[in-house]
Structure 1
Amino acid sequence: MQRPLDTRRVPTATPTRRAPRRWRRRIALGLAGGLGLLVLAGGLGLFLLVERMDASRAQLDGTRDVAGLRQPATIARDARGRPTITAASRADAAFATGFLHAQERFFQMDLSRRIAAGELAALFGAGLVEVDRDMRRHRFRLRARRAVDALPDSQRRVLDAYGRGVRAGLAALDAPPFEYMLLGTEPTPWAAEDTLLTVYAMYLSLQDADASQERNLTYLYRALGPDYAPFLAPRGSPRWDAALDGTRIAAAPLPTAPLP
């Protein structure tokens, strides 16, 4: 007896073959959508960063009314961007200098004062606590405050004018330096002792903390003598060292004695 064809069973194999294709298509669409969102988010983040960087640029043209100047001051830049400050008094010149510094380099100034004061962890996180602890042994911020309090009135007025200029220059930016956006924080105001802390930071950068340079020079002179050592470790260069008074450092002479 011939049985009728059961059409419900004939196409069962077809969905089984097509199902993986549908899932692959869905996965591909999902990945493409996720990638598109990542690209969109990255583009938006880059746009915000560029906007923040542009907003934090120093003012190069025009005039600005700022409180703290006794007489108008001028900051002029040449073709290479090198500034010249013209002011009626030393205090006004200090104010304009602080304004210029904050406009162009406040984040670097912030790092300098934090290095000396042992306050880097407050900006970068707990990974620098040990570095800060080593620096805080010297109590440079307290020493800087005491040094500021001991300044003669004439010098204190200049220092305070510089600090006011720094605060005015930072406030005049359309946005704080973009590094603070990357760190998710805001700059803190510039205090009088912060200017001295940058001096301490420069001292720390330039000093030979463990006298390794002096020891190496001693070994060099002992091993090679006074004929070769000055040539290999010269005190300066006539080409790269330019003294303010116009004098020049003579090049170290070529050694003539036999090599020890």
Structure 2
Amino acid sequence: MTTPAENGRKDAQPAMHTPAVVSPDAWEAARQKLLVKEKAQTRARDALAAERRRMPWMAVTKDYVFEGPAGKVSLADLFDGRHQLIVYRAFYEPGVFGWPEQACRGCSMVADQVAHVAHLNARDTTLVFVSRAPQADIKRLRERMGWEMPWFTIIDSFDADFGVDEWHGTNVFYRDGDRVFRTYFVNNRGDEQMGSTWNYLDITPLGRQEVWEDSPEGYPQTPTYKWWNWHDSYVADAAPDKKWVEVSDAGEAAMRNKDADKK
């Protein structure tokens, strides 16, 4: 028997009341029983996202200004030409533990989990981080930590006006021409799920924009899977890759046949 030190652990594992050890058949039966509840949760999550897409919007009437790498920009500028904007207020400013070398540990964990933003961009969505740290400190931190999402400095009342004057939170906006609307907000433990492309899209007013979604009439939707691409291969207005369409069609057909066999 190896010691805790030999296993690379500092302390001995406390006594645990672990589940029963069973046969492969019994294990699979338990997994299938749990899978029923997991699928129900997935359907409930999809239904919640559909309800979220029907939330009323709030017009943003105040002109907000941020400091960016190239100077001052407006809230509308943060969209970078797209219709949807997700703004995460990161807690990085004087007074934060670790300042100026570190941002808040929780916000830093969120930043570490952000998927490649090219996938969001391909769905007409921009993700940015904002905080009250000066751009010089943000630049140094991003480079050291390897974070690539755009990050701007709050220089007015944006954080206080949108529920994130302290701590952290995620706001979602939609741009229709020159008009900007607030469509959603989540904070506290609601931010835990943030990071993946799917979860970010699920909090936007347009959703994942795939044909299976329950969205209001007229919302943009494309065939499931077909828009997926390598993050360095997205091209604006490009048609889905023919080979990938064939592969994804075959995968969908196989899944449908598998589900049919279970009935």
TM over 0.5: no
Bigger fraction of residues in helix: 1
User: Greater Rg, structure 1 or structure 2?
Assistant: 1
Quick one: higher RCO (CA 8 Å, sep 6+), 1 or 2?
2
TM-score, normalized by length of structure 2? Answer: 0.24
